[in-house]
A = this chain, B = another copy of it.
Amino acid sequence: MIIKFREKTIQQDIDFLREYLCNFGFEVHETNGDAYTIFSIVGDTTRFDANSLYAFKFVETVVRIQEPYKKVSRKYKTTDTIVDIGGVKIGGNNVVIIGGPCAVESREQIDLIAGLVKTAGAKILRAGAYKPRTSPYSFQGLEQEGLILLSEIRKKYQFPIVSEILSATDIPLFLNSVDMIQVGARNMQNYALLKELGKIKLPILLKRGLSNTIEEWLMSAEYILSGGNDNVVLCERGIRTFELSTRSTLDISAIPVIKKLSHLPIIVDPSHASGSWEYVESLSKAAIAAGADGLLIEVHPDPEKALSDGQQSLKPERFAELVTHCRSIAEAINRTLK
């Protein structure tokens, strides 16, 4: 942590802050420029709120130069984390495709799609039972009934399931029905929920919030890991920008950045990022080429009749083609896509 004093700060204030910081156990090194003084602070500042120093009127700038996260950091654990989702491993050399509809709509619908996406090459089924919708008047999901249907499908097809949770009170239901719990973009900083998810062992798929920085995203993962659950997979799904030709802007750079900063696996959701089936294949190939550990793709046999997100869903045959094309990309970078 670096602290720059305002010009003409009096010695008494400088001394006061030195003592204040030493009381936190930090080591303080002082540098004097022509016009101002700088403190370089050594010690573990993870638990210290650097911004709080701006409350001192004589402080001009505070710069944190240590990451605010710990357990998610590649410095803490240098080897790649591999997360096991009902027998499917995310984070190793193999690239994993997760597919499925936005929402469970009925037994027939989910049964049909499950069979189709498994045949087409998906290793994990994604389907929502609880849907966070912008409008209270939109379809909100089948809720508990949806989870029951998913657990049936899991057995029938031996297909690991991931589904989104909206409230910590539903955790017991999810533990019985799915292999991985998704935290959606809108709940990335729902800390009450993250704390509870840190207490279980089931893998968590943590989507990035629409306007959250990579650092904030890692801090949300830190909530889960620091609670005791190491099984976190990150999912980039687009950030909010001024550009309107796609629903969100897929931050493709997040892949190499996460690989540098953290040991956690990262997958990409091109369907939500673009909001349009026309762009999904192009973005899927880009994600794998950039180093993503997997993809999350919306598939629906009858997108026109989907109760939600039909505009970004691929038909199963197109999805199967996409898997084939992605396999070529994976092989071109010496990874597999089984």
- List residues of chain A with CB under 8 Å of any chain B CB: 2, 4, 7, 29, 31-34, 38, 40, 42-43, 46-47, 49, 51-56, 61, 63, 65, 68-69, 75, 130, 132-139, 166-169, 186-187, 189-193, 195, 209-211, 213-216, 219, 222-223, 226-227, 239-246, 249-257, 259-261, 273-279, 282-283, 285-291, 303-304, 306, 308-313, 325, 328-329, 331-333
Residue of B40, B209, B211, B219 near A40 (CB, 8 A) is: B40
A243 touches B214 (CB 8 A): yes
Given contacts A137-B47, A246-B257, contact A211 B213 (CB under 8 A): no
A68 to chain B: closest CB distance in Å? Answer: 6
A134 to chain B: closest CB distance in Å? Answer: 5
A289 touches B31 (CB 8 A): no
Q: Could you jot down 20 A-B contacts, CB within 8 Å?
A: A46-B135, A49-B138, A51-B309, A52-B310, A54-B311, A134-B216, A136-B226, A169-B169, A210-B211, A213-B245, A215-B245, A243-B251, A245-B253, A250-B253, A253-B282, A257-B279, A259-B282, A285-B333, A288-B289, A328-B332
B252 touches A286 (CB 8 A): yes
Give CA–CA (A252, B223) in the complex, Å: 30
